[in-house]
Each structure stands twice: as structure tokens, then as C-alpha cells.
Amino acid sequence: MIYDKHIFICTNQRAADVPRKSCGEAHGMGIVEAFKNKLKDLDLPIKLRAQKSGCLDICDFGQTVVIYPEGVFYVGVELNDVDEIIEEHIINNRIVERLKLENVRAKRAQ
Ligand code: FES
């Protein structure tokens, strides 16, 4: 494995006349920059990469981020969630349960 943590941030932007939501409309690139800047500032002693990705096909749940090797999908990610994801998931290896796809999906189904 090349990276200890590999973060993919959806920045997909659909054409204006396509009704399906896309992460790039909100702040996909802003989230990418926030991850990159924060990780650069922290200069953690692990191998990390944060990068943009195409559609991860869970568009209806809002801004999507997936982190490997755990394969945890976070949805509805806002700029002010980036610090918590880095602090919890990247540094402390704890899942941010409130943003995890399965939990958000279950909450919506209630
Ligand atoms: S547009 Fe981001 S998951 Fe589909």
C-alpha cells in the first residue's frame, strides 16, 4: 500500500440542466483544498494523499468523501467538518459516525 490514508473527495459537476445533484455544485473543490491545506499544516508522520475524484455514485446524500484503507464513505460533508474528519479518522483512527453513509442513510429512513 502506498498511502496510510488515501482520501478521495468528489468534485463531480453535472451540467446545469441535469436534475441530479452533484458534489461539485456545492463546494467539492473547497473541501479538497481544505483537506490539502490542513494536512500540509499538520505535517503528520504518515503517508497521506487527499485528492479530487469523479462521482462516487451516492450523490443524493450531499458532498461525498471516501477514505481508504477503511473504505468509509462520509456524506453531507461541509467545510467545517474537515477538521473533525482529520482529527478523528486520520489522526485517531476513529470513524466520524454522524457523517458515515450507513448512519445517515438509516437516519433518513426513519
Ligand atoms: S456527484 Fe458526488 S457522489 Fe455523485
Torsion of CA 93, 107, 109, 105, to 10 degrees: -30
Ligand 1 site-directed mutation target among 9, 23, 61, most atoms within 8 Å of CB: 23
Q: Strand ranges (DSSP E) for 1-110?
A: 5-10, 48-53, 65-68, 72-74
What type of residue is 23? C
- Residue that the C-alpha cell 484503507 belongs to: 69
Domains of the chain, residue spans: 5-109
- CB proximity list for 100: less than 8 A, separation 6 or greater: 72, 73, 74, 75
CATH of 5-109, one of 3.40.190.10, 3.50.30.30, 3.40.30.10, 3.40.50.300: 3.40.30.10
pLDDT 10s per residue in the chain (110 long)?
799 999 999 999 998 888 888 888 878 799 999 999 999 999 999 999 999 999 999 999 999 999 999 999 999 999 999 999 999 999 999 999 999 999 999 999 99
pTM for the full predicted model: 0.95
* CA 10 to centroid of ligand 1, rounded, Å: 6
Answer yes or no: is the C-beta of 56 below 6 A from any ligand 1 atom. Answer: yes
